[in-house]
A and B are shown apart, each in its own frame.
Chain A
Amino acid sequence: MTDTHSFYGPLADPAADAGHREHPPRVGFFTDTSVCIGCKACEVACKEWNSVPEDGLNLLGMSFDNTGMLGSDSWRHVAFIEQQRPLGQQDAGLEGLPTGPSGSDAAAGVVADALRHAERGGGELGTAPVDLGFPSFQLPGAATGAEGRTEFRWLMSSDVCKHCTHAGCLDVCPTGALFRTEFGTVVVQEDICNGCGYCVSGCPYGVIDRRPGDGRAWKCTLCYDRLRGGLEPACAKACPTDSIQFGPLDELRERAGQRLAQLHEDGVPEARLYGADPNDGVGGDGAFFLLLDEPEVYGLPPDPVVPTRDLPEMWKYAGAAASALLAAAVSVFLGRGAR
């Protein structure tokens, strides 16, 4: 199953692929958003353990989300999504109340305007503004009619670096600051990073980010230091409802499959896994999710592909083009010689 090169496709053992011998099993996160209570303990625990700086005291108006997105100074981000649709069999209790139309679209418009004018748009994402597909721009399934609203659900989800099987950031890092650990996770070494920023554009999720005033790239380390000490990452430790589960990836995938089946059985057909498939564009995520809606709703790309997927092809084409150019150049000389 493992491909001959480690840029794309399923890869059973990324740590071994990176040269680790006798390494521990690959670990990761399974974030079950169906039990997230939005307490943000993960964000705080992460910052406390890793000494991540404050990320700005801005009321964003995106429901209870004032973090906005992952970035150099936010390695966990809890999204809050207010929607006009039911959650499984949940009864939001709006039926029969004298409600008017939803206010979500108007609020989303205000937020979008504010973000457009924000200095960093809530975080540094490469060099140009990027449309991340913010949860509240156009909600799939949102009611648009002027009739009274009768359905409601409030989704919460803690996002994090995906620790991809094929990590675009790592593949493009010229200094070796980014490396694959023995646990199969992807970590930036702050003392080696020179702040070139290639990794920022190499990440298909918009996770890794340069810190203003520092210039170096920062992101979740999956608490590499804690893992080395036999501890689970700070966010998973702090999560009161086990929405963030840490463990060997194989076990997590099995558990996630069971949870998904259970939710489907309980009448939540919209539940789906995200990042669990080794056949996806990044070879599967080390941190994957159970979502209750399309990924875009949570600000996640629907079909992330590691930008280095086409590297062999590109080299092939580049090689062919170079050969063709060489051939053309040679033919010029040869032609001239023949004259």
Chain B
Amino acid sequence: MGSNMAEAHPVGFQWVMEAKARGARVIHIDPRFTRTSALADQHVTLRTGTDIAFLGGVINYILSNGLDFREYVTAYTNAPFLLNERYQDTEDLDGLFSGYDPHTASYDSASWSYESIAAEATPGRRAKEQSSPYQHGASGPVVEGAAGQIAADPTLEHPRCVYQVLKRHFARYTPEMVEKICGVPQNLFLDVCRAWTANSGRERTTGLVYSVGWTQHSVGAQFIRAGSIIQLLLGNIGRPGGGIYALRGHASIQGSTDIPTLFNLLPGYLPMPDTTHENLTAYLDNVRGRNQKGFWGNADTYMTSLLKEYWGEAATAENDYCFGYLPRINGDHGTYRSAMDMVDGKVFGYFLLGQNPAVGSAHGRLQRLGMANLDWLVVRDLTMIESATFWKDAPEIETGEIVTERCRTEVFFFPAASHVEKSGTFTQTQRMLQWRDQAVEPSGDQRSELWFFYHLGRRLKEKLAGSADERDRPVLDLAWDYQTDGDEPSAADVLRHINGIDLRTGRTVSGYLDLKADGSTACGCWIYSGVYADEVNQARRRKSRFEQGPYEAEWGWTWPLNRRVLYNRASADPQGRPWSERKKLVWWDAGRGEWTGHDTPDFEKNKPPDYQPPAGASGPEALCGDDPFIMMSDGKGWLFAPAGLADGPMPTHYEPHESPMRNLLYKQQASPVRMVYGRPDNPSNPSPPEAHSEVFPYVFTAARLTEHHTAGGMSRQLPYLSELQPELFVEVSPELAAERGLHHLDWGHVITSRTAVDARVVVTDRMAPLQVGGRVVHQVWMPYHWGQTGLTRGDVVNDLIGVVADPNVFIQESKVLTCDVRPGRRPRGPALLDYIGDYRRRAGITPETGTRIMTAGDGVGPAHIEPAGLVSPPRPEGQP
């Protein structure tokens, strides 16, 4: 669901085909009939962006028919826990949860807490600005006091227990409602419900796959939450064949969140300190929470070891291990905020490493205008991508918005070595690190990222040498002593430092349990600890699957500690016995007093199933013998999230930011806490209850083709790939083609309030209209790989998309918007601006459109537009 696995992950899809050959039933739920649907047993077309309505329908089906895996749910989830009396549901508040503040468009989650745990009022504004929920990436958020006894009703009958709250919350998500909202006929929906529930339980499990079709929504995190709730209710987490497979968008993008390129995270999902963290202790108290369960209790060992890795001998107990050297965040510094800050003249320099925002990021136009207003820009890529050449060939040259002679940005282009020209690891979706050796020497001036940053750091240190300025200390004190081979740093040595080193012996540690908070260990990323255990590059192991057990423990290395299935303690019952012989994975061996099985147990090896913590215990010690979710503050899987999410403790169906439809469930139309950026250069198409949504009557979605790679930098330059998909096209159904007079292979163009793009029309039966809420809704799809350079060129599809984001992780809503489609080519040059201006006039669009995000109740909430000082940015030199 939300995944086109066969096209976007064809290599991984071989295992789906293998499962199918062994009798698995494959169901594909997606707005389009794709190459994945072609190989599935069943395809379900749904309206883009209505996944929570569908999944909520499944939850309602499970709960109203009593089909949950009751023993699993009672023992391993927070279903029995009681909520406090102050909690109010979206059913009570017309689409809002308790704690909403319309002025900051954020929630105080205090009223969502468990009954027996008094949570302090925590205004949500700061959490929302910092994308705090993302900082819980490898764990549950803080629930202080969760280590103690939590008031619960094991019969699941108390009206305030999570199970009953969940049941009431989703009671109106009936098959009829699913049909009305999603456009999925009831019998088809019920088929999916029956298949999912019948194939789950003690003897069987169902796997759930999602990709960026789920994440790139203003409620994307809640899509995933909805899937998680179903998988927990059906006992499909921590068990073989079950789980949730988050297929990532690029090779090693998992690696780039584990060791992050994100503004709010440090390696291993340790949060980036913010301006309230005076010292290491204050920071750690914030990370660990007080008196709660789980392995975040050891955060002091992870953080101190990280600081020791960064600053080596300079980091001592006396100077707080150089904690003060870390930068602090004080708000939203995400990629879209940064692009706007560039436009507004607040950012001066920018590094682009293997990224092509001029084509690949939502609102490409905003990205290009931002980049045209920098002092300097460094681009490291395989070829001269559009983000390196926008100053001479951006679409804004044609419209006169960027003038080459006056564009101030100095662009430095560095040719990058490709993956075959350097050694290193990829971390894939299963958290598996796979090492690759260098195959050939880089040609010409091409160099690895490692080379670039190692020498950049070295030169910066040289330039600053002798400086007495305190602000230069963090750079001067950096431990920057990697082994080199010639002038190329050793990637293996870097991986060794990531693994962690016992500074007393100089040898690698065997895992994160060896890390210390006393400065005697250094570790670059605690969750990767063990990848270089015994001084062996574990990621380089390549034992054939035919020569080892079913979990292939000796192929590559998976974090944490080479566990292939996370939370696999849940594959055994509370007493430690496999739920069934057929689905056994790990179990308690009473004779030897240890956990054992086919996979590395994701549990303390010698903690028996009946272990009860002593009074006052916290951290790992507080985990009971039947608490499988060892990173969570209460040891349980969360059907209801008492903390940690910016947009509610349970998923709720909201319409997308741009939708042709009114929300049929609540007056609250779309997510009341979504990130909107009301500014003239970021207009929104109107959605009900606003007027004139009919100007953009169609639902638009964009995605990839197998034949190209994201923004095209790795494929549009290659003849063998370009010839396979040589031109930008727009897919429409025969019905929409008839309605709009579009003809196969003729030109057409797609229009939003941002811009219009040209494309060849492809009329295909793979697109089908839907009957939604008493009307027919047409969906339009485009691939987004094209730009101005390369062997095959085309308009930038991402220019159609505005910036609206999920409040938890700041991901843009690029998978669903509204549009118009017309035959023929779009106007060129300045006439394009007039054309779009006319659409905006007809739709009554102002910077306020789409920013009055609270629509529950009788009135309309305040508009969330950018402060006036920012609305009219100083004109950059390059822009007349």
Chain A residues proximal to chain B, CB less than 8 Å: 35, 37-41, 43-44, 47-48, 53-59, 61, 63-64, 66-67, 82, 84, 87, 89-104, 106-107, 110-111, 114, 149, 152-156, 240-242
User: Nearest-CB distance from B464 to chain A (Å)?
Assistant: 46
Pairwise interchain contact A97-B719, C-beta atoms closer than 8 A: no
User: Nearest-CB distance from A227 to chain B (Å)?
Assistant: 22
Pairwise interchain contact A99-B769, C-beta atoms closer than 8 A: yes
A55 to B721, CA, bound (A): 11
Pairwise interchain contact B723-A152, C-beta atoms closer than 8 A: no
User: Nearest-CB distance from A284 to chain B (Å)?
Assistant: 26
A98 to B179, CA, bound (A): 13
Nearest opposing residue in chain B for A54, CB measure? B719
A98 to B769, CA, bound (A): 6
Interface residue? B100 (CB, 8 A) = no
Pairwise interchain contact A38-B706, C-beta atoms closer than 8 A: yes
A284 to B470, CA, bound (A): 81
Known: A58-B726, A97-B771, A107-B764. A156 touches B38 (CB 8 A): yes
Mind listing 7 A-B residue pairs with CB under 8 Å?
A35-B21, A40-B724, A44-B721, A53-B719, A54-B720, A61-B744, A66-B725
Taking CB atoms, residues of chain B closer than 8 Å to A94 are 45, 768
> Which residue of B13, B17, B37, B762 contacts A61 across the interface (Cβ within 8 Å)?
B762
Interface residue? B393 (CB, 8 A) = no
User: Nearest-CB distance from B105 to chain A (Å)?
Assistant: 36
Pairwise interchain contact B40-A90, C-beta atoms closer than 8 A: yes
Interface residue? B183 (CB, 8 A) = yes
New A-B pairs, 7, CB < 8 Å, besides A37-B7, A96-B185, A156-B38: A39-B7, A44-B720, A54-B722, A57-B727, A66-B726, A95-B188, A106-B734
User: Nearest-CB distance from B781 to chain A (Å)?
Assistant: 13
Nearest opposing residue in chain A for B179, CB measure? A96
Pairwise interchain contact B10-A41, C-beta atoms closer than 8 A: yes
Pairwise interchain contact A98-B13, C-beta atoms closer than 8 A: no
Pairwise interchain contact B45-A59, C-beta atoms closer than 8 A: no
User: Nearest-CB distance from A98 to chain B (Å)?
Assistant: 5
Pairwise interchain contact B766-A154, C-beta atoms closer than 8 A: yes
Give the interface segment out of B301-309, B513-521, B735-743.
Answer: B735-743
A332 to B230, CA, bound (A): 98
> Which residue of B6, B764, B765 contacts A39 across the interface (Cβ within 8 Å)?
B6
User: Nearest-CB distance from B724 to chain A (Å)?
Assistant: 5
Taking CB atoms, residues of chain A closer than 8 Å to B42 are 90-91, 93
Known: A94-B768, A96-B187. A59 touches B724 (CB 8 A): no
Pairwise interchain contact B768-A99, C-beta atoms closer than 8 A: yes
A93 to B733, CA, bound (A): 15
A87 to B37, CA, bound (A): 11
Pairwise interchain contact A59-B735, C-beta atoms closer than 8 A: no
Chain B 698-724 per-residue mask, 1 if CB under 8 angstroms from chain A, else 0: 000000011100000000000111111
In B205-230, the 8 Å CB interface with A consists of none
Nearest opposing residue in chain A for B771, CB measure? A98
Which of A84, A90, A149 has its CB near the most chain B CB atoms (within 10 A)? A90
A154 to B722, CA, bound (A): 23
A39 to B5, CA, bound (A): 11
- 7 shortest interchain CB distances as A-B pairs: A103-B734, A96-B185, A54-B719, A57-B726, A154-B38, A59-B727, A107-B744
Taking CB atoms, residues of chain A closer than 8 Å to B726 are 56-59, 66
Interface size bucket, B side?
35 or more
Interface residue? B35 (CB, 8 A) = yes
Pairwise interchain contact B35-A156, C-beta atoms closer than 8 A: yes
Which of B44, B724, B765 has its CB near the most chain A CB atoms (within 10 A)? B765
A100 to B771, CA, bound (A): 13
Pairwise interchain contact B769-A38, C-beta atoms closer than 8 A: no
A48 to B718, CA, bound (A): 11
Interface residue? B43 (CB, 8 A) = yes
Pairwise interchain contact B745-A110, C-beta atoms closer than 8 A: yes
Taking CB atoms, residues of chain A closer than 8 Å to B588 are none
Pairwise interchain contact A47-B720, C-beta atoms closer than 8 A: yes
Nearest opposing residue in chain A for B767, CB measure? A103
A66 to B723, CA, bound (A): 7
> Which residue of A53, A96, A100 contacts B188 across the interface (Cβ within 8 Å)?
A96
Taking CB atoms, residues of chain B closer than 8 Å to A95 are 185, 187-188
Taking CB atoms, residues of chain B closer than 8 Å to A48 are 720
Taking CB atoms, residues of chain B closer than 8 Å to A44 are 720-721, 724
Taking CB atoms, residues of chain B closer than 8 Å to A58 are 723, 726
Pairwise interchain contact A37-B720, C-beta atoms closer than 8 A: no
Pairwise interchain contact A149-B765, C-beta atoms closer than 8 A: yes
Taking CB atoms, residues of chain A closer than 8 Å to B722 are 54, 57
Taking CB atoms, residues of chain A closer than 8 Å to B40 are 90
Pairwise interchain contact B188-A84, C-beta atoms closer than 8 A: no
Interface residue? B14 (CB, 8 A) = yes
Pairwise interchain contact B771-A93, C-beta atoms closer than 8 A: no
User: Nearest-CB distance from A29 to chain B (Å)?
Assistant: 18
Pairwise interchain contact A82-B723, C-beta atoms closer than 8 A: no
A263 to B183, CA, bound (A): 32
A59 to B17, CA, bound (A): 29
In B231-270, the 8 Å CB interface with A consists of none
Taking CB atoms, residues of chain A closer than 8 Å to B121 are none
> Which residue of A54, A110, A154 contacts B35 across the interface (Cβ within 8 Å)?
A154
